Amino acid sequence: MEENRCKFWLPKKNRFCANSPLNDSQFCGNHKPRSTEQWIPCPIDPSHSVLKENLESHVKRCPLLKQAQSLSLQPFYQKGINAGKEEEEEDNVSSEMKRSAVYSMTVTQFCKLINKIESVHASTCKDIWESYKVPEACNMWIKREVDRKLPFQEKHVAQQASILGNLEDFGVIKSSVGSKEADSQGFCSDDSNFVHAVVEFGAGRGYLTQMLADCYGFDRVFLVERKSYKLKADRSLRQKESLILERLRIDIEDLNLNAVESLRGIPYLAIGKHLCGPATDLTLRCCLSEQCNQGSVQDCRSNANLKGLAIATCCHHLCQWKHYTNRKFMSDLGITKGQFHAMTWFTSWAVDADHSSDLPDITDCSLQLQSIEEKQCFGDMHGVEDVVRNMKPVERAVLGFKCKQIIDVGRMMWAKEHGLDTQLVKYVPSGISPENHLLLARHAKCL
């Protein structure tokens, strides 16, 4: 009998485990040593992992297999269409890899990188200003005059309202409160809301679209989200008799927006609140075909359907060089792929500090770097890890914010190169959310 039992000893019970061992093992599945096993992402859905030795059998019974098969038959599914082009295929660079690369620098190299970031920020990030706006049209949400079943968190409502307020101020949407005059093309007017659509990327539960539909009257909405959520806004939105709702459960990386039949030829507004890391880059490519710069007239015409865009960026530490839209912008500034990944790692410092009050926009980092070099000469610091450990939290946070702004300015410039009027603003104080950058764009002919 002992031969048919797992060889894992249970000290509290003073006996071996009673379960049967696995084939070719002395242990059962619960107690099999994990040290030599390799976990790899599931090829069907990389959001979960599986043991390498079990991969073949898992792929046949993965819970998401049917969904993946169904998605692959959709006309708007095109694997990796928005991923960007890379000369060599490469895996994502993890935060641990980015940190190791930074810590492997010499102190001199680290200081030179900080100096370069300071110089680039001073020359490229001059036109970012505070723009916290709460429009009159959103009063019904601000005053909680909405369905009590809808979740209400003040900080999220403030962010959503400011996104919509900035879109209104930028001339992309117009409220029915007050003047109802339309522009020469009818866009942003009350009448045009019945034919124009809203596409929310990374929609989650869809409450940004819920507020937009409630306060500005849009009646055709598309929610793009790869995950499944409970307590979605869909149920409330579907109660609007005139509203047409379509949820596209797909990764933005694989979405060919021009192939969505119900959106084809319809001018639309693209929005997204806190699109994590590369999702912002994927969304920009999804809305603005890169082929437009390569002389494809058809794709250029399809881009004309995009009338406006508002993306609140987020989680820059997850950004990847292979997905980033404006690598040319970085390269022209002398920032290499490795330095870009180092900058993305620095951005995590921006959300580590205390944001109960706004951080200063500019600090004198040159004195700090001089002090670092002096301490190194006297042997007080040994490597970049010691340097980082001795930096003040506020200094790290300011550096992180500067890296965030450089990354987002590159994205803004890329959208501008594709024929859009653009702005980058801080749409809420950092006390409400340190992730407070909003990229705004509008079609030039919409004015």
* % of the chain surpassing 90 pLDDT: 45
Residue 187: predicted pLDDT:
45
Top pLDDT among 53 and 375 is at: 53
Check whether 104 has a pLDDT greater than 90: yes
Cβ burial, residue 228 (10 Å; 0-12/13-18/19+): exposed
Output DSSP code: residue 35: T
Residue 289: predicted pLDDT:
74
Average pLDDT over residues 319-340: 96
Tokens of 343: 């900058």
Check whether 295 has a pLDDT greater than 50: no
Residue 314: predicted pLDDT:
94
Rg of the chain (C-alpha set) = 25
Contact predicate 277/320, CB 8 Å: yes
- Angle 279-116-375 (CA atoms, 0-180°, nearest 5)? 120
Check whether 169 has a pLDDT greater than 60: yes
Top pLDDT among 381 and 41 is at: 41
Q: How confident is the model at residue 100 (pLDDT cuts 50, 70, 90)?
A: very high
pLDDT digits (tens, 9 = 90+) for 185-207: 334 444 443 337 999 999 999 99
Average pLDDT over residues 332-361: 81
| Distance, CA of 199 to chain centre | 15
Can you state the percent helix, strand and coil of the chain, rounding each to 5?
45, 15, 45
Region of poorest pLDDT, from 82-86, 240-244, 430-434: 82-86
Q: How confident is the model at residue 290 (pLDDT cuts 50, 70, 90)?
A: low
- Nearest partner of 234 among 242, 244, 226, 181, judged by Cα: 244
User: What HEC string does 206-219 produce?
Assistant: CHHHHHHHHHHCCC
Check whether 302 has a pLDDT greater than 50: no
Output DSSP code: residue 175: -
The mean predicted confidence, pLDDT, of the chain is: 82
Average pLDDT over residues 432-437: 92
SS3 326: coil
Specify the amino acid at residue 88.
Answer: E
Residue 147: predicted pLDDT:
72
Q: How confident is the model at residue 363 (pLDDT cuts 50, 70, 90)?
A: very low
What is this structure's pTM? 0.82
| Cα(19)–Cα(4) distance, integer angstroms | 8
| Cα(250)–Cα(130) distance, integer angstroms | 34
pLDDT digits (tens, 9 = 90+) for 117-146: 999 999 999 889 999 999 999 988 888 877
Specify the amino acid at residue 309.
Answer: L
Average pLDDT over residues 172-184: 58
Top pLDDT among 25 and 237 is at: 237
Q: How confident is the model at residue 34 (pLDDT cuts 50, 70, 90)?
A: low
| Cα(27)–Cα(419) distance, integer angstroms | 63
Q: Best-predicted range by mean pLDDT among 1-10, 284-293, 423-432? A: 423-432
Check whether 178 has a pLDDT greater than 60: no
Rounded-to-10 torsion of CA 56, 58, 59, 61: 130
Rounded-to-10 torsion of CA 298, 300, 302, 303: 170
Which helix or strand (DSSP H or E) is residue 386 part of?
A: helix 384-390
Q: How many CB atoms lie within 10 A of CB 293?
A: 13
Check whether 427 has a pLDDT greater than 60: yes
Residue 88: predicted pLDDT:
54
b/e for 34-64, b at 16 or more Cβ within 10 A?
eeeeeeeebebbeeeebeeeeeeebeeebee
Check whether 424 has a pLDDT greater than 60: yes
- Angle 97-103-108 (CA atoms, 0-180°, nearest 5)? 135
Contact predicate 359/353, CB 8 Å: yes
Residue 42: predicted pLDDT:
84
Top pLDDT among 215 and 188 is at: 215
Q: Best-predicted range by mean pLDDT among 64-68, 240-244, 332-336? A: 332-336
Residue 261: predicted pLDDT:
93
Residue 70: predicted pLDDT:
84
Residue 152: predicted pLDDT:
73
Residue 358: predicted pLDDT:
52
